[in-house]
Amino acid sequence: MTRNRSAKPLAAAIGLVLLCAIPGLALDQSTPSRGALAPKAASAAAQAQDSRDPQNDFAGLNFTAEQKAEIDKIHRDIESRKAVVMKTTSLNEDQKSAMLSGYTRIESGEIFKVLSPEQQKQVRAKVNARRMADQAAKKQQLSERK
């Protein structure tokens, strides 16, 4: 019985180590990766959801050719890692979701490092504005419930 309880977490841990160690293991070259900052056409509800997407914090910035190349490289690397996670059968949906959101945070952090100091200030301002709006929305919801 004890053996079965420790087998699943051990298998998940080994899978996670393998995923991090070999990011290109299951890279599918037949599917094109989406652009790092591709514009989205969506409904108002989807746009409200997208406003919380960290990738939108980089929208509107003017990138140099070197920055575009580096961002594209980062995006391809993260997309390949996400593809490996999606194809992994040893993880349940919650674990996959957690890993995918973690990779999204890693991608945002790596892109932020590529930015110039002025661009970083602009992104910080957008992040702070988004956080303030989220806090105001939560306060509004709480006050409506009362």
What are 88-134's pLDDT values in tens digits?
Answer: 999 999 999 999 999 999 999 999 999 999 999 999 999 999 999 99
Is residue 81 very low, low, confident or very high in pLDDT (cuts 50, 70, 90)?
A: very high
**30-38 average pLDDT score:** 41
Least confident of 30-34, 72-76, 113-117: 30-34
CA distance 96 to 117: 34
For residue 69, the SS3 value is helix
CA distance 63 to 69: 10
CA torsion angle for 17, 103, 97, 76 (degrees, to 10)? Answer: -100
pTM of the predicted protein model: 0.59
Contact between residue 71 and residue 61 where contact means Cβ atoms under 8 Å apart: no
- Residue that wins the pLDDT comparison between 143 and 82: 82
Are 121 and 89 members of one domain? no
Is residue 32 very low, low, confident or very high in pLDDT (cuts 50, 70, 90)?
A: very low
Q: Quick check: is 127 in a domain?
A: yes
Q: Tell me which residue range forms the domain holding 78.
A: 64-114
> CA nearest 18: which of 72, 74, 75, 91?
91
Q: Quick check: is 11 in a domain?
A: no
Are 108 and 68 members of one domain? yes
When divided into structural domains, the chain yields a total of: 2
Query: What angle (nearest 5°) sits at the alpha carbon of residue 40, between those of residues 74 and 49?
Result: 95
Are 105 and 126 members of one domain? no
Are 109 and 122 members of one domain? no
CA distance 101 to 76: 16
Mean per-residue pLDDT over the chain, rounded:
75
